[in-house]
Amino acid sequence: MGIKDLFSFEKKEEFRITRPIMTAEGKRFGNGVLLTEINYILYGMALLLGGFPAIIALVINYLKRDAMAGTFLESHFRYQIRTFWFTLLYLFVAFVLYLFGFEVFGSSGWLFVFPLAWYAYRVGRGLMELLKEKPLYVPKFQQKL
């Protein structure tokens, strides 16, 4: 038994890393899944870089929304658009409350933490569901009773 035998490795199937994008469904929607992932990354980067990456992602959402119609990605695009606009609304409400001197836990700065934490949760949840290739919601008229 030589040193070569001690350090030889065999390929094993259980060590192969696969992503949901490699499934049959993922191959059909491959470019759409990648585009949706990029959008989630842009939305996440907006927390660190100010809101500009989110505006870029929002433009992409509106430009490609019709191309995703009828797929599970349609729900992700709607989710991303709604996340952007509702976060903007919540930040506006926080700003108005800030102007009037409303305080939470002794500081007005906390008013802006809550909408941003909600935004981060939505981006993370959406990305996790995308990696599982699941829609985020099913409209009530399509649900089976």
**pLDDT at residue 80 in the model:** 93
Which stretches of the chain score pLDDT less than 50? 14-26
DSSP for 48-64, please give it.
HH-SHHHHHHHHHHHHH
Distance CA 145, CA 140 (A): 10
Residue 130 burial by Cβ neighbours in a 10 Å radius (0-12, 13-18, 19+): buried
Q: Which distant-in-sequence residues (6+ apart) come within 8 Å of 126 by Cβ? A: 40, 76, 79, 80, 83, 136
Residue 100 has a pLDDT of: 82
pLDDT of residue 16: 44
